[in-house]
Amino acid sequence: SGSAIRSAEVLVSSPDRNFVTLRVTTEDGVVGLGDATLNGRELSVVSYLRDHVVPLLIGRDAHRIEDTWQFLYRSAYWRRGPVTMAAIAAVDVALWDIKARYAGMPLYQLLGGASRTGIMAYGHASGRDLPELFDSIRHHQELGFRSIRVQTAVPGIDKVYGIAAQHTSTGSRYDYEPAQRIPLPAEEDWDTRAYLRHLPRVFEAVRHEFGPELPLLHDGHHRMTPIQAARLGKDLEPYDLFWLEDCTPAENQDALRLVRQHTTTPLAIGEVFNTVWDYQTLVREQLVDYVRSAVTHTGGITALRRILDFAAQYQIKSGIHGPTDISPVGMAAALHLDLAIHNFGIQEYMPHGRLTDEVFRQSFTFTEGFLHPGDAPGLGVVYDDAVADRFPYQPAYLPFNRLKDGTVHDW
Ligand code: GCO
Ligand code: MG
């Protein structure tokens, strides 16, 4: 029939960075896009899709989203994991895009319609010292951001992940790019005690400069032990954070119990999670306040919606992952979901570079701190092959940390 899948293409392009995109086309010629980008491990998902999933899609009815999700999840036998779930996500999002295009509606309408007029976004400010950090916060406020993530260098540590280089390839002074196009992962250094001494002073200074109202966020990037995280949460309480993210490596769900016993600083977690099972204890015991999973790494809209509905029963809200390594397709999927769900919290927004915006033509808007996916049918993203083909895949790696004595550490 007309909605049977005629082709599914795995597209790799590296405009400002690598992106993996799945394009599904039905016999009618209706096209849907899905994001399958797994930063620094891109080609594993390319192979999973091209070698093992695409042949199964041809001829299937594109409208059967739930059935296709269950089929891909259960028939593989080997469940979960970022590669599998990114591949399933790409199929799921492409099929939602197709369904909404058939309906002639923006995707959020199929998810229940808008629950709000705009999506509050937070931006990433960072600096090597306080003057540079303040400058970066002001710059983000000028761009329209009303909520700001604050990351700083730490005295005595040479290189800290998440701090923008002064000038980047995209031309902006305050962007950082998670992965670097280098043949080996860059080595950074780390000292948790120095960080724990420094960070509360940074937030004290930021509150003093910018006042009590500005929502401030911070990402601990999995670097602390449970008791260290408990102390940081406590020390930051006077500065009223919107959230403290990834305070410990999240695979140990019990750690959050300990952190929670010691602090009322709100906690966000989950950008490296890929199924609802990673949240089981955290949600049921109300150990976190925000779910950080990306549509792209969690099996798509079908699966993330279920995680967020589960979380909603415990008054836990969304904080969907939105760094540059989520492609504009993955971001658009997040925005449609953000607009529709009731338990929306905040959306991370790290604008893509100019070349990326040329490959992916998008309908979303960002006005006075609020994102909106736009009202084009489907996701509202069009992939430009002619531009994409100018930027072939380039190997890129995320950095990693060593302690002063050379021990590998979470980064
Ligand atoms: C965030 C993140 C990212 C990740 C990146 C890894 O909160 O946005 O921690 O910057 O490090 O997505 O690929
Ligand atoms: Mg993070």
Distance CA 88, CA 272 (A): 16
Categorize the per-residue pLDDT at 250 as very low, low, confident or very high, splitting at 50, 70 and 90: confident
CATH of the domain at 226: 3.20.20.120
Residue 310 and residue 229 in one domain:
yes
Count: domains in the chain: 2
pLDDT of 173 strictly over 80: no
* Closest residue by CA, ligand 1 atom 11: 178
In a domain, 392, yes or no: no
Question: By C-alpha distance, which of 288, 201, 279 is closest to 243?
Answer: 288
Burial call 398-409: b when 16+ CB within 10 Å, e when fewer: ebebeeeeeeee
Question: How many percent of the chain have pLDDT more than 70?
Answer: 98
Give the domain range for residue 20: 5-106
- ipTM over the 0.90 cut-off: yes
In a domain, 364, yes or no: yes
Give the number of the atom of ligand 1 that is nearest the alpha carbon of residue 321: 8
Nearest ligand to the CA atom of 246: 2
Whole-number Å distance, alpha carbon 90 to ligand 2 midpoint, is 21
Categorize the per-residue pLDDT at 166 as very low, low, confident or very high, splitting at 50, 70 and 90: low
> Residue 90 has what pLDDT?
99
How many other C-beta atoms can be found within 10 angstroms of the C-beta atom of residue 201? 12
Residue 99 and residue 123 in one domain:
no
Beta-carbon contacts of residue 114 (< 8 Å; ≥ 6 apart)? 108, 339, 340
Categorize the per-residue pLDDT at 318 as very low, low, confident or very high, splitting at 50, 70 and 90: very high
Q: Which of 321, 327, 411 to mutate to test the pocket of ligand 1 (most atoms within 8 A of CB)?
A: 321
* Closest residue by CA, ligand 1 atom 3: 323
Mean pLDDT across 399-409: 95
Give 339-349 pLDDT, tens digit per residue: 999 999 999 99
Cross-strand pairs, 4: 61
Residue 282 and residue 222 in one domain:
yes
Residue 184 and residue 96 in one domain:
no
Residue 53 and residue 173 in one domain:
no
Question: By C-alpha distance, which of 61, 95, 97, 271 is closest to 178?
Answer: 271
Categorize the per-residue pLDDT at 275 as very low, low, confident or very high, splitting at 50, 70 and 90: very high
In a domain, 175, yes or no: yes
What DSSP element (H or E) covers 6? Answer: strand 5-13
In a domain, 139, yes or no: yes
Ligand 1 environment, Cβ below 6 A:
39, 178, 219, 221, 271, 323, 325, 348, 398
Torsion of CA 106, 329, 355, 161, to 10 degrees: 130
* Closest residue by CA, ligand 1 atom 5: 178
Mean pLDDT across 129-138: 96
Whole-number Å distance, alpha carbon 91 to ligand 2 midpoint, is 25
Q: Kindly report whether the global pTM for this prediction surpasses the value 0.90.
A: yes
Distance CA 283, CA 292 (A): 12
In a domain, 383, yes or no: no
Cross-strand pairs, 337: none
pLDDT of 196 strictly over 60: yes
> Residue 164 has what pLDDT?
81
Cβ atoms of 290 and 243 closer than 8 Å? yes
> Residue 169 has what pLDDT?
46
Give the number of the atom of ligand 1 that is nearest the alpha carbon of residue 179: 13
Active site positions, annotated: 161, 221
